[in-house]
A = this chain, B = another copy of it.
Amino acid sequence: MTVGRSSVTVDAFHRGAFDLVQPAAGGHRAGMDAMVLAAAVPDAFSGRVADIGSGAGAAGLAVLSRCPNAKVTLIERSPEMLDYANASLALESNSSFSGRAVVIQADVEARGKDRHAAGLDDNSFDFAIMNPPFNSANNRRTPDPLKADAHVMNNRLFENWVKTAAALVKARGSLAVIIRPGSLHELLDAMKGRFGGIQIKPLMPHAGKVAIRVVARGIKGSRAELTIEPPLVLHPAHGSGFTVKAEAIINGQTCLY
C-alpha cells in the first residue's frame, strides 16, 4: 500500500479493534506511548476530544476505539501525516469511527485567528490529548528530518502547545500529555495558571526502575493540588511482554487512572 509516494504499513491496535496506516520507515511510528496517552481519557467519557499534533492519529483513534461516545478531532500540521490519518479513517476495518472523526490541518503553534479559520473554535473541546515531540534540543538529534520534526521540542514549544490546548478546551475540560520525565518541570510551567489538579502518572519499565515516561493530566481552571499517582509498571520482573495492567491499558480494555 502507498499513500502519496510513500510505502506504508497497516498496523492493528487494541487486539485488532482498529487499524492504523503509517509510514513504513521514517516519520514517527506510533506505539505504546500513543496507546497509554489515549488511556488517560476516562472509560465513561462522552464528548469532544482534540488530539493536538496528532501525527497519523494513533492516540485519537485509540480513544474512539475505547470510548463509543467520544468524537475526536485530529489536529496536525503535516499534510503527509494527515494523508495517513485519512487513509486510516477510510479503512473498512475502522468503519465504527464513521461520523466520529474529523481531520484538521493546522499548526498547533498558529495564532488564534489562524486556528479559528481552520475550523477550531475556542472552548469547544471536553478533552485534549498531546504526545508532543519528545527529545529536548540538547539531546541526541535524529537524522531523519520528518522524525526530527516530531521528536525535537524546546521549552517554548511546550508553552505554545499547552497554551493552544487551554484555548481549545472548555472550562473544567481536561488535558493529558505524555512526556519524558526530564521535561516535567517545563510541562508544569506551561500548565501553571491554565490547568490544575494535575495528576502525575509515572511509567516504569520494571518495578524498582526509574520512570521512562510520565503522563500528566490536569483540569482547566482547577486549583486543586498536584498529586503523584502510583506508577504503571510496563513489564513483569520475569518473562517477556507486558504486565496484566499495562496489557489491558495498551489494548484499550481499561483507562490509565
Do A192 and B185 touch (CB < 8 A)? yes
Also in contact, A230 and B207, with CB within 8 A (given A181-B225, A182-B225, A225-B182): yes
B residues less than 8 Å from A202 (CB atoms): 228
Interfacial chain B residues near A188, Cβ < 8 Å: 184-185, 188
The distance in angstroms between the C-alpha atoms of A230 and B226, with both chains bound, is 18
Pick from B184, B210, B214, B227: contact of A229, CB under 8 Å? B210
Q: Are B228 and A230 in contact (CB under 8 A)?
A: no
Name the CB-closest residue of B to A213.
B228
CB of A230 within 8 A of CB of B214, answer no
A57 CB, min distance to chain B CBs, angstroms: 29
- Contact size class for A? 20 to 34
A8 at the interface (CB under 8 A from B): no
Measured CA separation A133–B5 after assembly (Å)? 62
Residue on B nearest A185 in the bound complex, by CB: B188
Are B231 and A209 closer than 8 Å at their CB atoms?
no
Q: Collect the chain B residues with CB atoms within 8 Å of residue A226's CB.
A: 181-182, 184-185
A191 to B111, CA, bound (A): 33
Q: Is the CB of B208 within 8 A of A228?
A: no
Contacts of A231 in B (CB 8 A): 228, 230-231
Is A204 an interface residue, CB under 8 A from the partner? yes
The listed residue with most B CB atoms (<10 A of its CB), out of A181, A185, A228, is: A228
Q: Is A67 an interface residue (CB 8 A)?
A: no
**Does A211 reach chain B (CB closer than 8 Å)?**
yes
CB distance from A105 to the nearest CB of B (A): 33
* Chain B positions within 8 Å of A228 at CB level: 181, 184, 200, 202, 210-211, 214, 231
Residue ID in chain B nearest A204 by CB atoms: B230
Which A residues, 205 to 243, have Cβ-Cβ distances below 8 Å to chain B?
207-211, 214, 225-231
**Complex A-B: 15 CB contacts under 8 Å:** A180-B225, A181-B228, A184-B226, A184-B228, A185-B185, A185-B189, A185-B192, A188-B188, A200-B228, A207-B230, A210-B228, A210-B229, A211-B227, A211-B228, A228-B231
Which residues of A line the B interface, CB within 8 A? 180-182, 184-185, 188-189, 192, 200, 202, 204, 207-211, 214, 225-231
